[in-house]
Amino acid sequence: MADSAKLMGPAFKQKVSAGKTDAKPEIWSDWAKFEKAIADYEKAASGLAAAARLDPAATGAAVKALGESCGGCHESFRKPKEQSYKNR
């Protein structure tokens, strides 16, 4: 997951806010916040990998941190499910 985080920024470099996308325009209007969200996700994913490898007792907390980083980005930068192109 941490490795895939490195692909997120480049995947969104081209602005696509119309058509079949659930991306909000805020990705491009607040690019610095989007990049920070990606960095937070990468850090949380790396933390989960380390916890699973080194401290299994800490894995639950690391999973929670990863989930929070996902939600933090999705809440700001992904359209709500009811606005999804998939529901049209």
Helix (H, G, I), strand (E, B) or coil at 68: helix
Per-residue pLDDT tens digits for 6-23? 899 999 988 887 788 999
Residue 1: pLDDT band (50, 70, 90) is confident
Closest CA to 37 of 63, 87, 74: 74
Using an 8 Å Cβ cutoff, are 49 and 5 in contact? no
pLDDT at 79: 92
pLDDT digits (tens, 9 = 90+) for 39-75: 999 999 999 999 999 998 999 999 999 999 999 899 9
> Which residues touch 84 (CB under 8 Å, ≥6 apart)?
22
Is the alpha carbon torsion for 7, 8, 13, 19 positive or negative? positive
